[in-house]
């Protein structure tokens, strides 16, 4: 298991019981948005997204359907309606811990290719804003998902 996938699994593990079918769908949509941020969903990103969802375990009702939906979204031609999807994600996931786990998992998908592209970063920060997260918290989650515990930009440096 890759380091990014292990980070996503741990983040989702604690909130798995709170992820009802609409929240799982929102997770799939968030993974898709990040994967599609650069204009195309790569095979590596799609496989990582499905593995991230699969890390929740097969005991969660609706998970297979959500993975199928993710693959369907990835097969679409053209750019997704990013604003509508982000609004739907924010509506579906209300619990703060689930929101943090969702952003962490989406960030892990962004790092599937070992880099965070500018477009992916913009999607993640827009998603974090819609989820009601302060930018510093979003940066800290993104750095954690990267596997680094560095402070967010502008945050005080440890002495």
What are the average pLDDT values for consecutive 10-residue runs of the chain, which has 159 residues?
69 75 84 82 76 66 74 73 91 91 85 82 94 92 70 43
Query: Taking phi first (over 0 means left), then psi (-120 to 50 degrees means alpha), and beta for anything else, what does residue 60 get?
Result: beta
Q: Judge whether 35 and 42 are in contact, CB under 8 Å.
A: yes
CATH number of the domain within which 89 lies = 1.10.3680
Residue range(s) defining the domain that contains residue 27: 3-146
What is the number of domains present in the chain?
1
Task: State the residue for tokens 């515990």.
Answer: 149
Query: What is the sign of the dihedral through the CA atoms of 91, 95, 98 and 102?
Result: positive
Q: Judge whether 24 and 66 are in contact, CB under 8 Å.
A: yes
- For residue 121, the model assigns a pLDDT of 92
pTM of the model: 0.78
Q: Judge whether 138 and 103 are in contact, CB under 8 Å.
A: yes
**Domain for residue 155, yes or no?**
no
């Amino acid at each position: 298991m890759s380091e990014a996938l292990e980070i996503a699994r741990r983040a989702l593990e604690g909130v798995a019981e709170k992820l009802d079918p609409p929240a799982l769908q929102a997770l799939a949509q968030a993974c898709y948005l990040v994967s599609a941020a650069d204009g195309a969903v790569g095979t590596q990103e799609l496989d990582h997204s499905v593995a991230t969802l699969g890390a929740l375990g097969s005991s969660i009702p609706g998970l297979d359907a959500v993975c199928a939906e993710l693959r369907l979204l990835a097969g679409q031609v053209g750019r997704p309606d990013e604003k509508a999807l982000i609004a739907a994600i924010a509506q579906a996931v209300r619990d703060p811990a689930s929101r943090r786990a969702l952003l962490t998992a989406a960030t892990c998908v962004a790092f599937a290719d070992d880099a965070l592209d500018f477009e992916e970063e913009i999607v993640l920060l827009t998603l974090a804003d819609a989820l009601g997260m302060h930018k510093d918290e979003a940066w800290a989650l993104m750095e954690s998902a990267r596997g680094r515990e560095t402070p967010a930009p502008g945050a005080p440096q440890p002495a």
